[in-house]
Amino acid sequence: MNEDLILQHGLTLDEFKIIKNYLDRDLTMEELGIFSAMWNEHCCYKTSKKWLKKLPTKNEIVIQGPGENAGIIDIQDNDGIAFKIESHNHPSYIEPFNGSATGVGGILRDIFTMGARPIATLDSIRFGLIESEKTKYLLNGVVHGIGHYGNCIGIPNIGGECEFESTYGFNNLVNAMAVGHVQKDKIFYSKPKSIGGLIVYIGSKTGKDGIHGASMASDVFSEDDEDDKRPSVQVGDPFMEKLLMEGCLELMSLGLIESMQDMGAAGITSSSVEMASKGNVGVLINLDKVPLRQPLSAYEILLSESQERMLAVIDEKNNLKVKEILQKWQIDYEVIGEITNNKRVVFESNNKKVVDLPVDIIVDDAPEYDREFYMPRKRKGKDFDFSNIKLEEIINTLLSNLNYLHKSWVFNQYDSTVMGDTVKEPGQSSGIVKIHGTQKVIGATTDCNPLYIRINPYEGMKYTVAESYRNLIACNINPLAITNNLNFASPLDPNIMGELVLSIDGLKTAAERFNTPIVSGNVSLYNQTNEIPIKPTPVIGMVGSNQDLKKINSNKFCNIGNKILILGKQLEKNLSPYLLQDQNLASNINEYNDLVELDLDYEKKVADCVLKMSDLKYIMSCNDISRGGVFLSLLKMQYKDMGFKVNMPDPIDLFCEYSAGYVIEIMNEDLNNVSSFLSENGVGYLEIGEIIKENIEINSKKFDYFDIINNYHNNFEKIIN
Amino acid sequence: MSFKSAVITFPGSNCDRDALCYLQDLTKGVVYNIWHEEASLPKVDLVILPGGFSFGDYLRSGAMASKSKIINDVIKHANDDRYLLGICNGFQILTEIGLLEGALIQNKNLKFLGKNCFIKKKFKNNFNLSIKEDQVLQIPVAHNEGNFYCDNETLKSLKNNEQIAFEYCKGEFSNSEENINGSIEAIAGITNKKKNILGMMPHPERAYSDFHPSQDGKLIIESLIT
């Protein structure tokens, strides 16, 4: 086989040699295609596997950890929660609408493949600077795509994040997360149960879209690639997915299916190989039976990433019944093969075996690399000059920076209330939905602090996990588990590889301390275009619960006259990276001081106090403190005609970042109780002011209330248009 | 006499379960869920055509659903002077069937709109009896094509016959626009001349439980039952 062809398939010559030595014969084109799909970074985690293995993935509530379509945790009774986050970065840059829409479609399939009904989605999206017309185009397309797919299928979007930063200019990030509810005794796995089971194809017909999508997603981009790569972006049809979801959930509820696997990245190849590998069995599939949209070669069928397709195993006796139900939902259905006992993956076409490979070599012998990595350099301490920074200026800079502004322009394009169970809509500390027919609620949030992680990957990752944790705690949601989406530039650069290794280590440390295991995830590498690597962006999706809907905290002010308290430890001005960045004090990454070590024990202690005080009903409202400091936290809590009056020895401190930081609102009469409760628990607090009517006052200086509120709510739309 | 009702499900409906819960919780009577391919409707007091993207909004929102098998019986039900409520996509279907006048075109900002909106009643009918004059209701909307349009003559007759049931308005402390989607005269919902058919874009079935930000959606069912 010629070398160019091998390289075009994303395999190295060394990798090809391993295959050839093992098989002791030449490969067919179809087989080369299979290795190209299965041995790329996206499918086999060849760079990250060594490090991912170190993550905590189990505890008493984990029902299913990484390795299945989604992770599942136990939330008592017969209720389980399935969730996962996944990236669709490259497709969303090439074709923002379809790229992001199919990202949502793919993650929803991961959820309902396991028998779970999706109950919420979240999204974490990052773009370059808005001054570029390209960014506006990408932002519009991505938000439209995410909205279109989720709105149409009817799953509420309950939160996420949207950040603008220069390194994402030619490599935007689109990470979509989905959460589903499953009855614990009705979970479906991808592992087939019996030899002789029928392999059935369910869903849309196969077309040419997305051929080699998975290997594209593992490539470094150059700018002029865009047009060439467009045909490998999948096109989604949320209507078909809605039918597929209802059809599959009906089949599962009737027990007509043995196992199921969605045809996502690398299509029928990856889904059938995974089935065989998990069940320790073989598969025999006749490609001539696959429903097609247009004439395709065997090679194309194997690698197509057409959307809205499922592969399932059923018992032959259920064949007619399955067919009948899927007919009602107008879904294509075909028996295309069977489960065999020879542990080989065999595909036939035109009465010829085009692929005949042992499962072992595809999966178990997939390469695993221990790539070289560098530790970050030590940072020298530096003092920044704040003497020229005026309070008014800081507020104005904040209110003209997209990263701080209210993002209703984004989430008003999403349906957040469909299904009728939404408790907290986007724009609050975390999104919350009720488990239908119960009083239980699930909270979810996504976060990442790329600047922190670039400064110090290990500590920065701890801060990222802690921020998600605080988002849930502020709502009185008990954090339970994590899904992660590790977005990095090229791991062939040892500096980038170092960020990957150390941030996974930070994730491990924080997840262990918080007892929030990692149950699912995704890795997206080579996020760089024209030699500009993105900032390290390992996004965390955290899920938690509360058994009683009535115990949830408000994130908005409740009453005029109530006291405002702060918990946590403030980072000094010189040590607050986002303050330094956003006030244009630090321009180069080398200028920042090192991050203050995050004390996870303290973080946990304060969080426990917030949960306890919420249950005791001391807390009237609560919000976490992150980028933008106490001031932005207060602005987010502003509601109706309420404003705030606060005092700080140095008002610039109101904009500093925190560890274990929360703003809480309490009633005057509870002040003594709260004070003694906190001192008993060894947690300090600062009483900084109170809620007042239609005013914002800092150290007795009055600001224009309506100006600030209106700018906060409306400037996002003004700036992007 | 217990109140009986039904919700029709089309392929792509996604508020059918919400509408079923809304009816079950508020009417306490029998609620049927009817698949669009069924030939007949049971005899009920109220039928809801729910929100969603029936048939994927292909062709035009509501156009394909308006040709479904069950629609003949839905028309018969309405001709018997019984209540028919179309919410969001259901409203679009009613205009496609021709049971309601006008059409719903794309929102004026050409974007999907998912947020809380404020409406008040315009002319009295059986669907809004329990709502006071000038009472502002907070109810979520979620639509791409909710911009009500009709010609001048139709508008005149909608007014003369007092067919405008709801109009968008400004809410207290809200800095959002009064007419959120560009509808003619801020129309949020209309009835037929006989006022037993209502189509509305806001979703009352998402504003009735204790944990919803508003319970104003209850008032519509309360109006029909009392």
Instruction: Identify the DSSP state of B15.
Output: S
Quick one: pLDDT band at residue A61, thresholds 50, 70, 90? very high
Give the bridge partners for B119, in sequence order. B137, B168
Mean pLDDT across chain A, nearest whole number? Answer: 94
CA A693 to CA A551: how far, in whole Å? Answer: 27
> What does the domain layout of chain A look like in residue ranges?
68-360, 553-721
Which residue in chain A is spatially nearest to B57 when comparing CA positions? A239
Instruction: Give the pLDDT score at A292.
Output: 95
Give the bridge partners for A429, in sequence order. none
**Contact flag B112-A414 (C-beta cutoff 8 Å):** yes
Query: Does B12 reach chain A within 8 Å, measured CB to CB?
Result: yes
Instruction: Give the pLDDT score at A218.
Output: 52
Residues A430/A471, Cβ–Cβ less than 8 Å:
yes
Question: Chain A 622-651, CB below 8 Å of chain B: which residues?
Answer: 639-641
Instruction: Give the pLDDT score at A215.
Output: 55
CA gyration radius for chain B? 16
ipTM given for this complex:
0.97
CA distance B157 to chain A (A): 34
For residue B202, pLDDT beyond 70: yes
CA distance B17 to chain A (A): 7
Instruction: Give the pLDDT score at A231.
Output: 58
Instruction: Give the pLDDT score at A146.
Output: 98
CA B29 to CA B52: how far, in whole Å? Answer: 24
**Contact flag A415-B112 (C-beta cutoff 8 Å):** yes
Query: Does A22 reach chain B within 8 Å, measured CB to CB?
Result: no
**Contact flag B56-A238 (C-beta cutoff 8 Å):** yes
Dihedral sign of CA atoms A403, A409, A411, A417 in order: positive
Give the bridge partners for A164, in sequence order. A127
Instruction: Give the pLDDT score at A2.
Output: 84
Which residue in chain A is spatially nearest to B204 when comparing CA positions? A420
The type of residue at B226 is T
Question: Chain A 475-494, CB below 8 Å of chain B: which residues?
Answer: none
Burial class (CB in 10 A: 0-12, 13-18, 19+), A383: exposed
Q: Quick one: average pLDDT of B14-21?
A: 98
Query: Does B10 reach chain A within 8 Å, measured CB to CB?
Result: no
The type of residue at B181 is N
Total beta-carbon pairs less than 8 A apart between chain A and chain B: 91
Instruction: Give the pLDDT score at A229.
Output: 56
Which residue in chain B is spatially nearest to A150 when comparing CA positions? B14
Contacts of A342 (CB under 8 A, 6+ apart): A282
B88 a catalytic residue: yes
Chain B residues within an 8 Å CB radius of A416: 114
CA distance B193 to chain A (A): 31
Residues B225/B5, Cβ–Cβ less than 8 Å:
no
Question: Of A233-237, A432-436, B203-207, which gets the smallest average pLDDT?
Answer: A233-237
Where residue A476 falls (left for φ over 0; alpha for ψ -120 to 50; beta otherwise) is left
Query: Does B142 reach chain A within 8 Å, measured CB to CB?
Result: yes
Question: Chain B 181-220, CB below 8 Å of chain A: which residues?
Answer: 203, 205-206, 209, 211-212
For residue A219, pLDDT beyond 80: no
Burial class (CB in 10 A: 0-12, 13-18, 19+), A309: buried
- What ranges in A346-417 are assigned the alpha helix state H? 359-363, 391-398, 408-411
**Contact flag B53-A152 (C-beta cutoff 8 Å):** yes
| Tokens describing residue A397 | 């800079």
**Contact flag B12-A243 (C-beta cutoff 8 Å):** yes
Chain B residues within an 8 Å CB radius of A694: none
Range A12-51 burial, b when 16+ CB lie within 10 A, else e: eeebbebbeeeeeeebbbbbbbbbbbbbbbbbbbbbbeeb
Place of tokens 């979007």: A157
**Contact flag A152-B57 (C-beta cutoff 8 Å):** yes
Spacing of C-alpha A431 from chain mean position:
14
| Tokens describing residue B183 | 């509808």
**Contact flag A420-B22 (C-beta cutoff 8 Å):** yes
Range B107-131 burial, b when 16+ CB lie within 10 A, else e: beeebbbbbbbbbbbbbebebbebb
Residues A170/A128, Cβ–Cβ less than 8 Å:
yes
Contacts of B104 (CB under 8 A, 6+ apart): B61, B62, B91, B92, B95, B143, B145, B146, B147, B148, B149, B201
> How many Cα atoms sit within 13 Å of A579 on the Cβ side?
31
**Contact flag B12-A152 (C-beta cutoff 8 Å):** yes
Q: Quick one: average pLDDT of A89-102?
A: 94
For residue A525, pLDDT beyond 70: yes
CA A711 to CA A715: how far, in whole Å? Answer: 5
Chain A residues within an 8 Å CB radius of B109: none
Summarize pLDDT for B20-72 with one digit per residue, the tens. 999 999 999 999 999 999 999 999 999 999 999 999 999 999 999 999 999 99
CA distance A693 to chain B (A): 12
CA A155 to CA A444: how far, in whole Å? Answer: 14
CA A656 to CA A570: how far, in whole Å? Answer: 7
CA A226 to CA B164: how far, in whole Å? Answer: 51
For residue A679, pLDDT beyond 80: yes
Instruction: Identify the DSSP state of A162.
Output: E
Residue from the list B11, B115, B140 with its beta carbon closest to the beta carbon of A243:
B11
Catalytic residue among B15, B77, B88, B117: B88
CA A263 to CA A36: how far, in whole Å? Answer: 16
Query: In the CATH hierarchy, which fold is given to the domain comprising B5-225?
Result: Rossmann fold (3.40.50)
Residue from the list B52, B56, B206 with its beta carbon closest to the beta carbon of A417:
B206
Query: Does A424 reach chain B within 8 Å, measured CB to CB?
Result: no
Residues B162/B124, Cβ–Cβ less than 8 Å:
yes
CA gyration radius for chain A? 26
Question: Chain A 325-364, CB below 8 Å of chain B: which residues?
Answer: 328-330
Query: Does B55 reach chain A within 8 Å, measured CB to CB?
Result: yes
Range A250-288 burial, b when 16+ CB lie within 10 A, else e: ebbeeebbbbbbbbbbbbbbbbbbbbbbbbebbbbbbbe
| Tokens describing residue A509 | 């440390």
For residue B161, pLDDT beyond 80: yes
CA B62 to CA B71: how far, in whole Å? Answer: 12
Instruction: Identify the DSSP state of A355.
Output: E
Give the bridge partners for A127, in sequence order. A164
For residue A471, pLDDT beyond 80: yes
Q: Quick one: average pLDDT of B95-123?
A: 97
With vertex at residue A622, the alpha carbon angle to CA A620 and CA A627, rounded to the nearest 5 degrees, is 160
The distance between the two most distant Cα atoms of chain A, rounded to a whole number of Å, is 85
SS3 B175: coil
Helix-strand-coil percent breakdown of chain A, rounded to 5? 40, 25, 35
Residues A544/A479, Cβ–Cβ less than 8 Å:
yes
Q: Say which CATH superfamily domain A68-360 falls into.
A: PurM-like C-terminal domain (3.90.650.10)
CA A434 to CA B211: how far, in whole Å? Answer: 9
Q: Quick one: average pLDDT of B73-81?
A: 97
Instruction: Give the pLDDT score at A687.
Output: 97
| Tokens describing residue A422 | 């939404």
CA distance A422 to chain B (A): 7
Candidates A417, A421, A436: best to mutate against B (most CBs of B within 10 A) is: A417
Residues A117/A218, Cβ–Cβ less than 8 Å:
no
For residue A651, pLDDT beyond 70: yes
Q: Quick one: average pLDDT of A299-324?
A: 94
Secondary structure E strands in B11-151:
31-35, 46-49, 83-87, 103-105, 113-121, 137-143, 147-149
| Tokens describing residue A294 | 């247009």
The type of residue at B114 is G
Q: Which CATH number, 3.40.50.800, 3.90.650.10, 3.90.1150.110, 3.40.30.10, labels domain A553-721?
A: 3.90.650.10
B143 a catalytic residue: no
Q: Could you tell me which of A165, A269, A182 has the C-alpha nearest to residue A589? A: A165
Summarize pLDDT for A318-343 with one digit per residue, the tens. 999 999 999 999 999 999 999 999 99
Candidates A412, A440, A720: best to mutate against B (most CBs of B within 10 A) is: A412
Instruction: Give the pLDDT score at A212.
Output: 67
Summarize pLDDT for A581-593 with one digit per residue, the tens. 999 999 899 999 9
> What does the domain layout of chain B look like in residue ranges?
5-225
Chain A residues within an 8 Å CB radius of B172: 640
For residue A210, pLDDT beyond 80: no
Count Cβ atoms below 10 Å from residue B97 Cβ, excluding itself. 22
CA B80 to CA B16: how far, in whole Å? Answer: 24
Question: Chain A 224-253, CB below 8 Å of chain B: which residues?
Answer: 237-240, 242-243
Chain A residues within an 8 Å CB radius of B18: 418-420
- What ranges in A154-266 are assigned the alpha helix state H? 213-216, 225-229, 238-253
Helix (H) or strand (E) holding B22: helix B16-27
CA distances from A128 to A177, A403, A412 (A): 22, 12, 22
- DSSP characters over A436-492: TTSS-EEEEEEE--HHHHHH-HHHHHHHHHHHHHHHHHHTT-EEEEEEEEEE-S-TT
- DSSP characters over B95-130: HHHTSS-SEEE--TTSS-EEEEEEEEE-S--TTSTT
Instruction: Give the pLDDT score at A337.
Output: 97
Chain B residues within an 8 Å CB radius of A549: 211
Which residue in chain A is spatially nearest to B140 when comparing CA positions? A417
Instruction: Identify the DSSP state of B171.
Output: P
Summarize pLDDT for A401-446 with one digit per residue, the tens. 999 999 999 999 999 999 999 999 999 999 999 999 999 999 999 9
Q: Quick one: average pLDDT of A10-32?
A: 92
SS3 A336: strand
Query: Does A432 reach chain B within 8 Å, measured CB to CB?
Result: no
| Tokens describing residue A515 | 């007892």
Summarize pLDDT for A349-377 with one digit per residue, the tens. 999 999 999 999 998 888 899 999 999 98
Which residue in chain B is spatially nearest to A550 when comparing CA positions? B211
Q: Quick one: average pLDDT of B134-156?
A: 97
Summarize pLDDT for A150-185 with one digit per residue, the tens. 999 999 999 999 999 999 999 999 999 999 999 999
Catalytic residue among A88, A181, A212, A406: A88
Chain A residues within an 8 Å CB radius of B115: 408, 412
Query: Does B111 reach chain A within 8 Å, measured CB to CB?
Result: yes
Residues A110/A264, Cβ–Cβ less than 8 Å:
yes
β pairing state of A344-349 and A282-286: parallel
Catalytic residue among B96, B145, B167, B205: B205
CA distances from A58 to A185, A473, A518, A538, B189 (A): 19, 22, 8, 20, 52
CA A175 to CA A163: how far, in whole Å? Answer: 12
Q: Quick one: average pLDDT of B117-129?
A: 97
Range A96-121 burial, b when 16+ CB lie within 10 A, else e: bbbbbbbbbbbbbbbbbbbbbbbbbb
Instruction: Give the pLDDT score at B177.
Output: 75
**Contact flag A418-B206 (C-beta cutoff 8 Å):** yes
